């Protein structure tokens, strides 16, 4: 593996910025959280994030541009979630990931089943000490703790998400089984061989090097410990010399805070190079399901299985997004919403269109499952 330059961590700086930008918005949700931000700090986060994408189209993308994003992977990801977390929770819920859909299965039930399937496939058991790499606001950790009876440490480099994760865990009476800690998954501070198991759900795609983050996971796992991951990949149908393919990839990366997304074959090489024994791997998006994983973003309300799902999915349709973004734009103009909120929402919307295109054309998967084990000796 070529050496990866790691960003210097500064937790005091990040905590101060979190306090300045988010204030007491951790205690609210939805549009109230979006509006309850410090406007100057929000502008700083917007400028810091979008500098990586402004005037850098797929047609003119260079290796140097991608390397610059990789060099600031931690800041890029942290500022992305400073901007996008409230929008995610409003539109999707507390588990920031995709899932498969069985016949008649509701949206939130399908999300939970996807988490249960990972825990089951990994063989998580009562009392295990488990690390959740890139835990978001803790939705999967809460579900897996209840499902498998494990004790979970959530690792995250975004202070706002950590605060929200802790709040939600306390609300559900899970504080004895869940804790959340600040850190960069490329340079974990945990002692070697600390965890019985590690999982990551659509999170390690934010790493500048998969071999780098997988090697850190390998280090903190006990011998014989298991690592399970749902990874975002471009499939091996992806051709970087194809302008349309590059537009799809770059749209996903910009709208989802990703510095460097790679193909399946590169990911499989990375997990083996980190030292793992790969026990199984499969693109779950290739399974024949009643509805495709991207249907909520595609906006076909005929696929919704209940009135509740209709209301959830309606927010994510093009019309739903247009109405929400128009409302946010109006609030920006009168100074109620901080400037940059609509730009972030628009970037997420464009990414949604690219995700759908990537799914339909089999260029992209958000659910490549890998189960790997650290050798016992």
Q: DSSP string spanning 233-291?
A: EE-TT--TTSHHHHHHHHHHHHHHT-S---BHHHHHHHHHHTT-EEEEEEEGGGS--SB
Per-residue pLDDT of the chain (377 residues; tens, 9 = 90+): 656 789 999 999 999 999 999 998 888 877 788 888 999 999 999 999 999 999 888 888 889 999 999 999 999 999 999 999 998 998 888 999 999 999 989 999 999 999 999 999 999 999 999 999 999 999 999 999 999 999 999 999 999 999 999 999 999 999 999 999 999 999 999 999 999 999 999 999 999 999 999 999 999 999 999 999 999 999 999 999 999 999 999 999 999 999 999 999 999 999 999 999 999 999 999 999 999 999 988 877 777 777 778 877 777 777 887 888 888 889 899 988 899 998 998 999 899 999 999 999 999 999 999 999 999 97
Three-state DSSP class for 3? coil
Q: What are phi and psi of 150, to 5 degrees?
A: -95, 165
Tell me the C-alpha distance between 370 and 122, whole Å. 10
pTM over cut 0.85: yes
Contacts of 116 (CB under 8 A, 6+ apart): 143, 144, 147
Q: Hey, what are 83's tokens?
A: 């901007």
Q: Give me the residues paired with residue 372 across strands.
A: 227, 278
Pairing verdict, β 364-373 and 195-201:
unpaired
Tell me the C-alpha distance between 194 and 155, whole Å. 13
Q: Hey, what are 231's tokens?
A: 């990874």
Tell me the C-alpha distance between 244 and 238, whole Å. 10
- Helix axis angle, 243-256 to 341-360, nearest 10°: 140
Residue with tokens 């060099």: 71
Three-state DSSP class for 152? strand
Q: Hey, what are 9's tokens?
A: 């961590």
């Amino acid at each position: 593996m070529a050496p990866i330059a790691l960003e210097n961590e500064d937790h005091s700086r990040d905590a101060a910025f979190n306090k300045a930008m988010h204030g007491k918005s951790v205690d609210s949700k939805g549009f109230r959280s979006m509006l309850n931000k410090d406007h100057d700090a929000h502008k700083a986060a917007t400028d810091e994030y979008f500098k990586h994408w402004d005037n850098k189209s797929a047609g003119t993308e260079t290796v140097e541009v991608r390397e610059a994003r990789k060099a600031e992977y931690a800041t890029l990801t942290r500022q992305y979630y400073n901007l996008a977390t409230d929008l995610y929770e409003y539109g999707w819920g507390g588990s920031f990931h995709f899932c498969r859909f069985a016949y008649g299965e509701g949206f939130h039930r399908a999300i939970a089943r996807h988490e249960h399937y990972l825990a089951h496939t990994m063989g998580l058991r009562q009392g295990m000490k488990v690390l959740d790499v890139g835990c978001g606001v803790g939705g999967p950790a809460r579900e897996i703790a209840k499902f498998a009876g494990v004790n979970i440490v959530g690792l995250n480099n975004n202070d706002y998400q950590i605060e929200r994760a802790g709040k939600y865990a306390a609300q559900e009476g899970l504080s004895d089984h869940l804790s959340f800690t600040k850190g960069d998954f490329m340079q974990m501070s945990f002692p070697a061989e600390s965890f019985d198991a590690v999982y990551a759900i659509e999170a390690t795609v934010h790493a500048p090097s998969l071999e780098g983050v997988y090697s850190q996971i390998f280090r903190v796992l006990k011998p014989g410990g298991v690592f399970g991951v749902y990874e975002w990949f471009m499939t091996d149908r992806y051709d970087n010399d194809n302008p349309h393919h590059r537009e799809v990839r770059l749209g996903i990366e910009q709208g989802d805070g990703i510095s460097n997304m790679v193909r399946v074959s590169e990911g499989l090489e990375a997990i083996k190079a980190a030292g793992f024994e790969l026990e199984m791997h499969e693109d779950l998006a290739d399974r024949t399901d009643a509805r495709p994983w991207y249907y909520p973003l595609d906006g076909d309300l005929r696929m919704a299985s209940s009135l509740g799902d209709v209301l959830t999915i309606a927010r994510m349709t093009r019309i739903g997004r247009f109405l929400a973004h128009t409302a946010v734009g109006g609030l920006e103009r009168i100074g109620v919403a901080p400037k940059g909120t609509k730009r972030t929402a628009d970037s997420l919307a464009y990414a949604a269109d690219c995700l759908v295109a990537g799914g339909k054309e089999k260029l992209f998967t958000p659910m490549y499952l890998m189960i790997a084990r650290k050798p016992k000796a």
